[in-house]
Structure 1
Amino acid sequence: MKPRETLEEFYILHGKEHDQDAHCNVYRREDFECSKNLKPVYRRDFYKVSMMCEGTGILSYADKFIKIDKPSIVFLNPLIPYSWEPTSSVQTGYFCLFTEEFVSSELKNESLSQSVLFKAGGDHVFFPDEASIQLLKNVYESMLNEAQSNYDNKYSLLRNYIQIIMHEAMKIQPPQTYAQHSNASERISMLFLELLDHQFPVSLDNVMLLKNANEFATQLNIHTNHLNKALKETTGKTTSEWIAGRVMKEAKSLLQFSNWSVNEIAYCLGFEHSSNFIISFKKKTGDSPNQFRKRILSKS
């Protein structure tokens, strides 16, 4: 799984020019090679709200996949690792892409804060009825026109259109048509280990984002117990054991090969207080971080 995909890389993949000053863009699927397979990516730095009008395909994330064979609306945020496999040559519809900079307090207001657009867990695919399909088509057409206009406040208007799409989706009952992959435990374990591996190496500008079992499970869109069960079944270790082991490995490496302070190492590894890191490290190794560093360096 690729660790990260930027908006610019997404445009390059689809052979399009990228306007770096535009924090929101709208397209027709048929004009953007949306039939192209999208491989799993750990983290994208943009949101995507896509409407399929014609065409079929399979959307996969974590241990679930859903066959899309009728008009649908799909919400994807930067925390959802997903892949798309088209199963038809015809792929029509619309989608909009926007960055975190585009997300305003209005777009994430109280009533919409629980929307699937902003949550890593939950359902992200909805199948609208005929009335909603027509409404959504009209909204996307208006967005297309507005995105190409010179109106000074067009981005505020585009936010309003996205809110309409979000509210419309919130009216729709989530689908109950998800299926389990035949090798679900192995797939979950593979995705988890890749997510864990891509947390590293850390730096002062790239700190550990996912720090506990609940955060990893949320990222994978599954329950913590489900993740633990899959890992225990396939690896013999729990989620917490894997995380703690990898953190300790990174901590030892940084103490040996960097000149970072203990506070800096603790910060990058996701510890709220350096004292917590020191206690955890000593419990695992028998040495404090400074004792470990002195002992290792004295041997080199």
Structure 2
Amino acid sequence: MAAFVGLDSFYKNILNRTSEYPKNEVGHFNIFKVEDIRLPTHKPVHYTRRNFFKMTLVTGHSKIHYADQSIEVNGSVLVFTNPMIPYFWEIISEEQTGFMCIFTEAFFSRFGSISEYPVFQHADSAVIALNESEAASYKALFVRMLDELQGDYAYKYDLLRNLLMEVVHGAQKMRPLAGDRHAGSNAAERITGLFAELLERQFPIELSNQVIQLNTPAAFARQLNIHVNHLNKALKETTGQTTSQLISDRVLQEAKVLLKSTNWTISEIAWSLGFEEPNHFSSFFKNRAKLTAQKFRSSNTD
């Protein structure tokens, strides 16, 4: 499973700041110049996830390993990353300039979900090459965000949201830069790792109103931006099981835990596990566990 980097680690290890990072009542938002950030070169590829979103405008020579793609860029590029998918930024040249903007989903909580925008969902949409004119235009937006953040305007965070969304919408109108899906020694293993990451992130279920969002092969394929047949082939090659089997096994495992460790109703458990109808869950459980959910709950079977 990819390592997880929080805001505390980011400020300490990347920005070399040991003091508490700034916070405000509207979620976290900050922007930096790339030149002020420690960017180690010649470092082995190591995938990590962040608990925040990142939007970067950078000029230089680097390789971006995102999901199952590796995209080499030598020039100006816009990159959007989200907490769901692990990635690694491999610095090739020491000369890197630009801006990095980081923010939490809470920063947009009153204005919809930022994670629903395509540039934050898939590698195909997340890396966008820029010509000189486009780079200059986006640089002006990042410079303005930096200036506004340092200012004292009472509604500056509302303005910053608008400026950030101007970057997002502008990027979505542009043609994304596709990368090599088969970069690396074993693409199937990398796809399997990303699938397992997405699957496990949905568990454990701790609240009865918590509902898993990915419960079908098609849903996982969309999140990974690959064809469902490609996902099935990769998982079959590395695990010997189909996507549906792996999902069902994990859902069954969680169902047993919830039946034994909670007093939730069968309907509540079914809903949390992504079943729209309780009888669908009951049929699923009986077929897989060879006894009903109610009998399993009252038995000594694990």
TM-score with structure 1 length normalisation?
0.84
Q: Cα distance, 1:188 vs. partner?
A: 1.0
Query: In 1, Cα distance between the equivalents of 2:264 and 2:12?
Result: 37
Residue 271 (str. 1) matches residue 278 (str. 2): no
1:188-210 CA-to-partner distances (Å, cap 9, x unmatched) read 11222233233332211765342
What code does the residue aligned with 1:208 have?
Answer: I
Moved more, 137-146 or 206-215: 206-215
Query: In 1, Cα distance between the equivalents of 2:198 and 2:288?
Result: 23
1:57–1:69 Cα contact (<8 Å) kept: yes
Instruction: Determine the structure 2 residue equivalent to 1:240.
Output: 244
Residue 40 (str. 1) matches residue 47 (str. 2): yes
Instruction: Determine the structure 1 residue equivalent to 2:230.
Output: 226
Instruction: Determine the structure 1 residue equivalent to 2:158.
Output: 156
Query: In 2, Cα distance between the equivalents of 1:107 and 1:273?
Result: 28
Q: Cα distance, 1:164 vs. partner?
A: 2.9
SS in 2 for 1:237: coil
1:72-117 CA-to-partner distances (Å, cap 9, x unmatched) read 1111233332222222223221011122232277788xxx998533
Residue 197 (str. 1) matches residue 200 (str. 2): yes
| Structural mapping, 1:45-56, within 5 Å | 45-53=51-59, 55-56=60-61
Q: Which runs of no fewer than 5 residues in structure 1 stay unpaired? A: none
Instruction: Determine the structure 2 residue equivalent to 1:27.
Output: 32
1:62–1:222 Cα contact (<8 Å) kept: no
Instruction: Determine the structure 1 residue equivalent to 2:290.
Output: 286
SS in 1 for 2:57: strand
Residue 139 (str. 1) matches residue 145 (str. 2): no
Query: In 2, Cα distance between the equivalents of 1:18 and 1:185?
Result: 39
Q: Cα distance, 1:62 vs. partner?
A: 2.6
CA gap of 1:9–1:212, structure 2 versus 1, over 3 A, is: farther
2:71–2:178 Cα contact (<8 Å) kept: no
2:119–2:171 Cα contact (<8 Å) kept: no
CA gap of 1:94–1:50, structure 2 versus 1, over 3 A, is: same
2:124–2:179 Cα contact (<8 Å) kept: no
Q: Which runs of no fewer than 5 residues in structure 2 stay unpaired? A: none
1:28-56 CA-to-partner distances (Å, cap 9, x unmatched) read 112122447684345x4422110112x32
Query: In 1, Cα distance between the equivalents of 2:226 and 2:100?
Result: 26
2:271–2:277 Cα contact (<8 Å) kept: yes
2:58–2:96 Cα contact (<8 Å) kept: yes
SS in 2 for 1:155: helix
Query: In 2, Cα distance between the equivalents of 1:76 and 1:200?
Result: 22
Instruction: Determine the structure 2 residue equivalent to 1:67.
Output: 72
What code does the residue aligned with 1:270 have?
Answer: G
SS in 2 for 1:230: helix
Using the aligned pairs only, state the percent identity: 40
SS in 2 for 1:271: coil
Residue 168 (str. 1) matches residue 170 (str. 2): yes
* Count of residues paired in the alignment: 293
Query: In 1, Cα distance between the equivalents of 2:273 and 2:139?
Result: 46
Query: In 2, Cα distance between the equivalents of 1:268 and 1:66?
Result: 37
1:77–1:117 Cα contact (<8 Å) kept: no
Q: Cα distance, 1:225 vs. partner?
A: 1.6
Q: Cα distance, 1:145 vs. partner?
A: 0.9
Over the aligned positions, Cα root-mean-square deviation in angstroms equals: 2.9
SS in 1 for 2:194: helix
TM-score with structure 2 length normalisation?
0.84
1:128–1:172 Cα contact (<8 Å) kept: no
2:205–2:272 Cα contact (<8 Å) kept: yes
CA gap of 1:98–1:69, structure 2 versus 1, over 3 A, is: same
Instruction: Determine the structure 2 residue equivalent to 1:256.
Output: 260
